[in-house]
C-alpha cells in the first residue's frame, strides 16, 4: 500500500523545476536576466560597454588610469611662490645632503614659522627617503639636485661620471615626486678643490659650463652656518656665523646641512629665523631665475 501511493505522487524535482522557470519568467521584466548575462560576459572576458559607460563596474574599474611620466614635460616647481612681491631683503635657507634623520624636524620648524626653503638632496632610495622627498615637495619647498652619491671620488672623475650620477638622482626624483629639478648645487661648491685630486684644476670650469649648457642653474652660497666646520659645532656659533654673514647683505643664500648628526643646527634654526625676520628678511625658495650666488 505504501509503495503504490508513492508511485502516484507528482515528482518533486519536476515541481521545483516548474517553480524556477515561472520565477525567472516573472522577474525577467526588471532586467535580472540581463544582469546574469552581463555577469557571464565578465567571467568570459567580454567587455560590456554599456556598464562601463554608466560607471557601474567594480571599484578597480572606476580608478583613473595611472599617468605615465612624460620625460619631455620637465616641470619646474621651484618658481617664486609670490613673484609680484619685491621685499627689500631676501633670505634663502638651503639644506644640503639630506634626506636624513633630522629632515622631519627641519620641516616641522619651517612649517611652524611658515617659511619656505630649498633642499639640495642626494640619493636616498628607501621608504623613508622617498617619504621625505614627497613631504618636501608637498609642503611647498624647492628640491635641488646635489648628485645621487655625493661621492667626490666618483663624481669628479670626469664629466660623464658626474652626469651619470646626476641623472640617476634626477630619475629617482621624477619617479617619486614627478619633478626634474632645474636647480642644483655641486658637492663642495663650484670652486671646490677636491675635484683637483681626481680630474685636475680645470675640471670645474668645464663642468659648470656643461651644467648650464644642459639647461640647469647651479647655486653656491654667500652665507654659511659653518655647521660642518667640525664634528660638533655649538648652536651659538652657528647662530653667530649666520648673523655675521648677513650683515650688509640684501640677499642671503644661507648654507646649512641636513645630516643626522647636526642636532645643533636644529636648535639654532628657530633662533636664526626669528633674527632674520627681525632684520626685515623675507624668505624665498630657490628657483631657476634666482640670482646665481656663484663662486665660479
Catalytic residue set: 96, 257
Parallel, antiparallel or unpaired: strands 217-218 and 89-96 = unpaired
C-alpha cell at 256: 646649512
The full 3-state SS of the chain, as one line of letters, equals CHHHHHHHCCCHHHHHHHHHHHHHHHHHHHCHHHHHHHHHHHHHCCCCHHHHHCCCCCHHHHCCCCCCCCCCCCCCCCCCCCCCCCCCEEEEEEEECCCCCCHHHHHHHHHHCCCCCEEEECCCCCHHHHHHHHHHHHCCCEEEECCCCCCHHHHCCCHHHHHHHHHHHHHHHHHHHCCCCCEECCCCCCCCCCCHHHHCCCHHHHHHHHHHHCCCEECCCCEECCCCCCCCCCHHHHHHHHHHHHCCCCEEEEEEECCCCCHHHHHHHHHHHHHHHHCCEEECCCCCCCCCCCCC
Q: Which residue has the cell 567587455?
A: 47
Closest Cα partner for 92 from 294, 293, 286, 269?
286
Amino acid at each position: 500500500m505504501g509503495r503504490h501511493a508513492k508511485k502516484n505522487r507528482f515528482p518533486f524535482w519536476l515541481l521545483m523545476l516548474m517553480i524556477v522557470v515561472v520565477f525567472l519568467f516573472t522577474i525577467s521584466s526588471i532586467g535580472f536576466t540581463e544582469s546574469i548575462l552581463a555577469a557571464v560576459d565578465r567571467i568570459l572576458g567580454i567587455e560590456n560597454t554599456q556598464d562601463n559607460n554608466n560607471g557601474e563596474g567594480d571599484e578597480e574599474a572606476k580608478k583613473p588610469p595611472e599617468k605615465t611620466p612624460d620625460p619631455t614635460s620637465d616641470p619646474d616647481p621651484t618658481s617664486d611662490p609670490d613673484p609680484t612681491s619685491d621685499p627689500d631683503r631676501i633670505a634663502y635657507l638651503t639644506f644640503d645632503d639630506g634626506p636624513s634623520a633630522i629632515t622631519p624636524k627641519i620641516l616641522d620648524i619651517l612649517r611652524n614659522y611658515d617659511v619656505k626653503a630649498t633642499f639640495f638632496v642626494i640619493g636616498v632610495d628607501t621608504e623613508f627617503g622617498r617619504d621625505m622627498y614627497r613631504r618636501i615637495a608637498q609642503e611647498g619647498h624647492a628640491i635641488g639636485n646635489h648628485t645621487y652619491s655625493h661621492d667626490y671620488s666618483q663624481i669628479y672623475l670626469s664629466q660623464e661620471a658626474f652626469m651619470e650620477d646626476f641623472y640617476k638622482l634626477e630619475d629617482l626624483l621624477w619617479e617619486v615626486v614627478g619633478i626634474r629639478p632645474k636647480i642644483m648645487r655641486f658637492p663642495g661648491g663650484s670652486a671646490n678643490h677636491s675635484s683637483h685630486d681626481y680630474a685636475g684644476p680645470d675640471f670645474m670650469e668645464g663642468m659648470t659650463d656643461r651644467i648650464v649648457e644642459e639647461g640647469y642653474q647651479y647655486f653656491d652660497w654667500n652665507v654659511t652656518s659653518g655647521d660642518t666646520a667640525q664634528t660638533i659645532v655649538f648652536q651659538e656659533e652657528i647662530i653667530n656665523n649666520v648673523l655675521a654673514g648677513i650683515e650688509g647683505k640684501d640677499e642671503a643664500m644661507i648654507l646649512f646641512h641636513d645630516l643626522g648628526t647636526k642636532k645643533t643646527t636644529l636648535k639654532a634654526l628657530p633662533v636664526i629665523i626669528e633674527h632674520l625676520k627681525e632684520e626685515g628678511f623675507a624668505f624665498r625658495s630657490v628657483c631657476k631665475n634666482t640670482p646665481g650666488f656663484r663662486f665660479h
